[in-house]
Amino acid sequence: MGITLIKIKLMPESPSEDLKKIELEAKKVIEKGKGNNVRFEIEPIAFGLKAIIISFDQDEDKGELEPIENGLNKIKGVSSCQIIDMRRAIG
């Protein structure tokens, strides 16, 4: 089977949340859900609020994204989780 490339946007509850702590927890959740090559970017939103953009890949036959989404939504300090891009890798 192929590889799926996925990007998820995590919104923290407030600008004062510790983004590094959220990133560590998110990496655990994604790796538990069979995600690989986890990368993080910080995207400024407004008034000091910054979103975490998570990029990772996953084998198409390894499972669904729902358990990962549910796990990310349960992280302390996370307001919302949204899949912003998902595509099949070529090559």
User: Domain ranges in the chain?
Assistant: 3-88
Give every CB contact of residue 51 below 8 A, 6+ residues apart in sequence: 9, 10, 11, 12, 42, 43, 45
Q: What is the CATH number of domain 3-88?
A: 3.30.70.60
**Residue 9 is which amino acid?**
K
Mean pLDDT for the chain overall: 93
pLDDT, one tens digit per residue, over 12-46 is: 999 999 999 999 999 999 999 999 999 999 999 99
Distance CA 68, CA 50 (A): 21
Residue 67 in contact with residue 74, Cβ under 8 Å? no
- Model confidence at 89, pLDDT cuts 50, 70, 90, reads confident
- Model confidence at 57, pLDDT cuts 50, 70, 90, reads very high
Average pLDDT, stretch 50-78? 92
